[in-house]
Amino acid sequence: MNLTEYFTHRTGTGILATSDAAGRPNAAVYSRPYIIDEHTVAFSMLERRSYANIRANPRAAYMFLTDGRANEGVRLYLEVAGEETDPDRIAAIKAQHTSTRTRSDAPRHLILFKVVETRPLIGDGPA
């Protein structure tokens, strides 16, 4: 799957699922991922539950439901690959998205994830 092409040409709703060290799950609405390359995506996170969870358990899943198309979307299975701290690099990555949320003074973290597997929204085959 070409992640850049897929996420450039679709709008929809994304949900990031994480779990803590004990396996307690959390799901949170997230925007489209920032595409670093065809095997790496990133999400901007505040210091909330999702961030705490990936610090304790580096695996996550992201589900994207495409707007206006019943049962169309993709699931990405992810593993933390790093955290970007360079403000210039973060600004360049975040420039991928034209719309941004209200700015906050709260600390933000840009978490990079290796895409371990991609699957369609429904079914077991590859995306």
Residues 80-100: pLDDT tens digits? 999 987 778 887 887 877 655
pLDDT tens string 104-114: 667 788 999 99
Q: Walk me through the domains of the chain, giving residue ranges and CATH numbers.
A: 3-98+106-120 (2.30.110.10)
pTM (2 d.p.): 0.88
Q: Tell which residue, 77, 72, 84, has the closest CA to residue 9.
A: 72
Predicted pLDDT at 59:
98
Give, in order, the Cα–Cα distances in Å from 35 to each of 41, 69, 76, 94. Answer: 5, 23, 12, 10
pLDDT tens string 35-82: 999 999 999 998 999 999 999 999 999 999 999 877 889 999 999 999
